[in-house]
């Protein structure tokens, strides 16, 4: 958000509302708002003003009168139905997950420009479909219509419905009643603060003050100016702007609470505020001298059941976050008990019918959108809800895009056969020797190797390898449409080459993910075929998804076209698997039912038995060390200079300061022209020097494309028990030259406030992404901010897990979370738009994912980092890092160079 220059006021300036000051506000319908993507240019977004005197107390409106006609009902609500308005945020589904378990039924989620005001009135006041409203966080400012959508009108006119605003929703509550939105003393993202509150019901049974244990996570750059609060709004919580804690720092601080100081200060504040409220003279400015350094963290309306909190109660690191949302439920229950409403008395009887009507109407009245944006909206579109009041359990029927649909193509009945060789791998030289012997001939063309080359500490257990072989083998290559206007388009061209060399071409209107989904749903299989196998890939698609496929996952556009295909996969029907834990080797073969089996199992068994480690090792060493004489000593050239990269970091910091993003993962590409190069030898060298648990080799000879990946990061995995797991990495530091220095650097990373903030933001983002497709209450974080050590770096890794909902397909789990949040920043959609305007080239395969989709609908995908892409005589390496408010531009450049050094050295060694 651009700021108008002003030497006298920290207020944000805006042309959007200048003509509204002092007037009754007349809102446009939300479909007239600008789309987010329309606001960006190289100079930033449309300037906005964050101060406006918005009039319009509507206590006499027809909406309020409808609820005051019947005797009060004393029945306690058995469940609470929430309308959750999403401001295009990446944490909304963390609130969704919390409310699902607290309310007894999942909320209905709509985006802030998805419903018209007529829709809101109908569902709230004619259908009585909701008990309360929660307004989500989001990027930007409540003064920008495209940032806040319908929320301002909801806050202004729905005076008789309990509403809770979170972060942006909190600012909107202040703004709509005339408060000013200004820059915070400093941006605070992914950091914790201690909260003092006044004991209001929203904070019932929650401690308050310094060392009380009530610490919250903050993601914001803008705040409500406390001195501008109108008399209608009462501050109920605040925090010292100077305090800021890292997550691990709060756990390890060991501070002794000063109970007297904390309790005395709280009692004085509560007494003063209570007295002023009772005699009607309360003004927050009375306390401006005492609380000059404090930031407003919570407000409530004096007469309406409207509340706002600036912090994020749904964050994994917020204390008492669930309690706050539970208190809001109780506020809602008590509010409706006090009102005379037939809705309260009859709601339990008519719930299922009303909800079905609601969802039918949602489907009918939701505005049509472009195909590429359709998934992003459908992914967050309201679900059809069914509630079993007998045992208080519920299930969710997901929207059309996320619901498993019958395949429209022919069903393929697949038969798996396999053999196991106990303790064979090490006796024949390990995974490297096996691959070179079985698939290394002819430059290893059309081969794959999902390579767990770093298996210590249980990071990874299995490696999968294979090549062109059986009758079911094929290669599918997808390129997004090359038309000049690629905005909002996800269609593209698909090429399929089968085992016989026949080629089929098609244009996919719905895109690649839709094709892959239908393919996997077309496979019929028997579970007994793979009973006893300890892994989850039994044959199927192996390859990569490029970063530009984000347009099939809600992103608005691709400004840069990828030089490589946007997705490329083999269908692997013959696979060799190595179990690194037990040293076992498995060979698997797929064929269609009632077709003759090939001889591949017999042939491969003979090769394995005849393999001698010593001879193969000697062959590998020749392949590895022969091409050491380089004819091309040129270095890698970055797409941007050091100065430009530093300037890009500074631009990111401006966006963060203005509330447009919490975190931006800025990247660039380093390129080098190469001559004839031993691509497999390069990969073998890279895996030796920089082993990684999610490494990969892919060779697509028809595309003149080889991928040498040494990624330490898992994007997303779905196992046979429908358990999803993500393992994002945020925070990287080089290894030390001595054991003492190495341990010191490891501790430096572990307790770095900046790196913890990066990691926490992405953990919350991944919790949100999994929350879209997982059963309510199942998303959890078993490991938070663990430091893992690799050959060249230490990294900070977290693990997020959840139980996939039965109605969601495997591919749609990926679509809900792609691209990985660790490569975008948060909020994801807005951050990707900003990065598109800053970065100078396509990321291509970098930032995408490599892995498998098994025919039985499991998958495991990495994040493509620490990777060399060799394509048409050029080697390219993507690198970058997360930019947060605490980032130093020069340090960010050095971190980018550090991350690219290992793959760059491997190329320089061979070329």
Give the residue numbers annotated as catalytic, written as ranges. 167, 312, 314
**For the packed helices 753-771 and 810-817, what is the interaxial angle rounded to 10 degrees?**
140
Closest CA to 719 of 801, 816, 819: 801
Exposure class string for 492-517: b at 16+ Cβ within 10 A, else e: bbbbbbeeeeeeeeeebebbbbbbbb
**Closest alpha carbon to 481 in 510, 516, 518:** 510
Alpha helices (H) in 26-91, listed in sequence order? 62-65
User: Using an 8 Å Cβ cutoff, are 724 and 773 in contact?
Assistant: yes
Structure tokens at 684: 């073998």
- Alpha-helical (H) ranges within 574-628 are 600-610, 613-625
- Cis bond before residue 819 (omega within 30° of 0): yes
The answer to whether 756 and 711 have CB atoms below 8 angstroms apart is no
In angstroms, the CA 852 to CA 538 distance is 10
Give the CA distances from residue 472 to residues 409, 417, 591, in Å, rounded to whole numbers and listed in that order.
16, 14, 7
Give dist(CA 705, CA 699) in Å, integer. Answer: 6
Residue 190 vs residues 662, 715, 757, 759, 845: alpha-carbon distances, Å: 8, 21, 4, 8, 29
Cβ atoms within 10 Å, residue 408? 8
Residues 804, 778: Cα–Cα separation, whole Å: 9
Helix extents (H) in 397-500: 430-439
3-state SS, residue 630: coil
For residue 592, whether the previous peptide bond is cis, meaning omega lies within 30 degrees of 0, is no
Contacts of 609 (CB under 8 A, 6+ apart): none
Dump the DSSP string for 352-409.
HHHHHHHHHHHHHHSPP--HHHHHHHHHTSPPEEEEETTTTEEEEE--TTTB----SS
What separation in angstroms does the CA of 573 have from each of 463, 472, 542, 604, 859? 16, 6, 10, 14, 16
Q: Which residues of 417-438 are buried (b: 16+ CB within 10 A; e: fewer)?
A: ebeebeebbeebbbbbbbbbbb
- Residue 463 CA: distances (Å) to CA of 222, 223, 425, 522: 48, 50, 11, 26
- Measured between its terminal Cα atoms, the distance across the chain in Å is 46
Report how far residue 686's alpha carbon sits from residue 699's, in angstroms, rounded to the nearest whole number: 16
| φ and ψ at residue 786, rounded to 5 degrees | -75, 145
Q: What is the 3-state secondary structure (H, E, C) of 874-906?
A: EEEEEEEEEECCCCCHHHHHHHHHHHHHHHHHH
Pairing type for strands 503-508 and 492-498 reads antiparallel
3-state helix, strand, coil in the chain (%, to 5): 35, 25, 40
List, in order, residues 6 or more apart from 656 with CB less than 8 Å away: 187, 189, 221, 662, 663, 664, 883, 884, 885
Kindly state the greatest CA–CA separation across the chain. Answer: 93
Question: What is the Cα–Cα distance from 453 to 460, expressed in whole angstroms?
Answer: 8
User: In Å, how far from its chain's centre is CA 41?
Assistant: 24
Which residues on adjacent β-strands are paired with residue 697? 449, 708
**How crowded is the C-beta side of 141, counted as CA atoms within 13 Å?**
34
Whether residue 481 contacts residue 492, with contact meaning beta carbons closer than 8 Å, is answered with yes
């Amino acid at each position: 958000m651009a700021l108008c220059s002003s030497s006298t006021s920290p207020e944000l300036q805006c042309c959007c509302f200048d003509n509204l000051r002092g007037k009754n506000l007349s809102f446009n319908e939300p479909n007239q708002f600008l789309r987010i993507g329309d606001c960006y240019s190289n100079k930033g977004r449309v300037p906005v003003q964050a101060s406006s005197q918005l009039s319009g107390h509507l206590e006499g409106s027809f909406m309020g009168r409808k609820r005051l006609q019947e005797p009060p009902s004393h029945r306690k609500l058995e469940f609470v139905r929430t309308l959750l308005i999403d401001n295009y945020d990446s944490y909304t589904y963390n609130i969704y997950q919390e409310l699902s378990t607290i309310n007894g039924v999942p909320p209905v989620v709509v985006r802030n420009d998805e419903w018209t005001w007529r829709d809101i009135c109908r569902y709230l006041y004619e259908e009585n479909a909701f008990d309360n409203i929660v307004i989500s966080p989001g990027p930007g400012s409540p003064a920008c219509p495209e940032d806040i959508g319908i929320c301002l009108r909801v806050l202004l006119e729905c005076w008789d419905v309990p509403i809770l605003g979170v972060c942006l929703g909190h600012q909107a509550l202040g703004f709509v009643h005339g408060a000013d939105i200004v820059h915070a003393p400093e941006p605070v993202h992914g950091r914790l603060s201690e909260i003092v509150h006044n004991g209001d019901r929203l904070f019932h049974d929650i401690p308050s003050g310094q060392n009380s244990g009530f610490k919250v996570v903050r993601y914001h750059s803008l705040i409500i100016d406390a001195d501008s609060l109108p008399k209608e709004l009462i501050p109920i919580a605040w925090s010292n702007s100077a305090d800021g804690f890292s997550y691990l720092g709060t756990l390890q601080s060991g501070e002794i609470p000063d109970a007297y100081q904390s309790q005395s200060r709280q009692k004085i504040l509560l007494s003063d505020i209570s007295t002023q409220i009772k005699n009607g003279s309360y003004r927050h400015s009375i306390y401006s001298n005492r609380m000059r350094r404090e930031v407003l963290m919570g407000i409530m309306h004096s007469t309406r059941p409207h509340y706002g909190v600036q912090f994020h109660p749904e964050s994994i690191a917020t204390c008492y976050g669930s309690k706050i949302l539970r208190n809001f439920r109780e506020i809602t229950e008590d509010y409706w008990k006090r009102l005379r409403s037939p809705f309260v008395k009859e709601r339990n009887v008519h719930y299922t019918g009303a909800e079905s009507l609601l969802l039918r109407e949602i489907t009918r009245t939701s505005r049509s959108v472009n195909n590429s944006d359709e998934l992003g909206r459908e992914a967050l579109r309201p679900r059809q809800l069914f509630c079993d009041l007998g045992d208080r359990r519920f299930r969710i029927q997901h929207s059309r895009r996320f619901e498993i649909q019958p395949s429209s193509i022919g069903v393929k009945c697949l038969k798996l056969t396999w053999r196991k060789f106990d303790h064979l791998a090490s006796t024949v030289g390990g995974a490297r020797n096996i691959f070179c012997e079985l698939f290394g001939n002819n430059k290893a063309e059309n081969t794959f190797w999902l390579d767990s080359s770093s298996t210590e500490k249980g990071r990874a257990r299995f490696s999968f390898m294979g090549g062109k072989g059986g009758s079911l083998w094929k290669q599918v290559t997808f390129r997004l449409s090359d038309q000049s206007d690629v905005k909002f388009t996800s269609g593209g061209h698909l090429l399929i080459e089968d085992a016989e060399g026949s080629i089929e071409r098609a244009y996919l209107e719905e895109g690649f993910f839709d094709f892959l989904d239908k393919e996997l749903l077309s496979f019929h299989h028997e579970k007994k075929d793979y009973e006893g196998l300890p892994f989850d890939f039994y044959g199927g698609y192996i390859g990569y998804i490029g970063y530009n496929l984000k347009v099939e996952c809600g992103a608005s556009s691709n400004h840069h076209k990828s030089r490589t295909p946007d997705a490329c996969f083999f269908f692997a029907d013959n696979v060799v698997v190595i179990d690194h834990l037990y040293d076992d080797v498995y060979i698997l073969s797929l064929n269609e039912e009632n077709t003759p089996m090939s001889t591949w199992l017999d042939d491969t068994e003979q090769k394995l038995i005849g393999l001698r480690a010593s001879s193969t090792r000697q062959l590998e060493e020749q392949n590895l060390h022969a091409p050491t004489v380089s004819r091309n000593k040129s270095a890698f050239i970055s797409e941007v200079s050091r100065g430009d990269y530093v300037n890009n970091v500074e631009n990111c910091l401006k966006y963060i300061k203005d509330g447009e993003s919490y975190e931006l993962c800025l990247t660039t590409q380093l390129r080098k022209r190469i001559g004839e190069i031993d691509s497999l030898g390069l990969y073998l060298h890279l895996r030796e020097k920089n082993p990684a648990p999610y490494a990969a080799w892919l060779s697509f000879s028809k595309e003149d494309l080889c991928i040498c990946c040494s990624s330490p990061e898992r994007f997303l995995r779905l196992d046979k028990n429908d358990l999803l797991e993500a393992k994002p990495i945020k925070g990287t530091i080089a290894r030390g030259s001595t054991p003492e220095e190495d341990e010191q650097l490891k501790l430096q990373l572990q307790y770095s406030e900046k790196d913890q903030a990066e990691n926490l933001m992405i953990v919350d983002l991944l919790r949100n992404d999994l929350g879209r497709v997982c059963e309510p209450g199942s998303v959890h974080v078993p490991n938070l901010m663990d430091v893992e050590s690799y050959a060249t770096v230490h990294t900070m890794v977290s693990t997020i897990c959840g139980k996939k909902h039965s109605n969601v397909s495997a591919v749609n789990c990926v679509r809900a979370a792609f691209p990985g949040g660790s490569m975008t920043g948060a909020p994801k959609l807005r951050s990707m738009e900003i990065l598109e305007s800053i970065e100078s080239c396509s990321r291509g395969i970098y930032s995408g994912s490599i892995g498998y989709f098994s025919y039985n609908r499991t998958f495991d995908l990495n994040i493509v980092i620490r990777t060399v892409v060799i394509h048409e005589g050029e080697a390219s390496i993507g690198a970058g890092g997360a930019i947060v408010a605490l980032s130093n531009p020069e340090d960010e450049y050095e971190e980018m160079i550090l991350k690219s050094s290992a793959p760059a050295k491997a190329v320089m060694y061979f070329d």
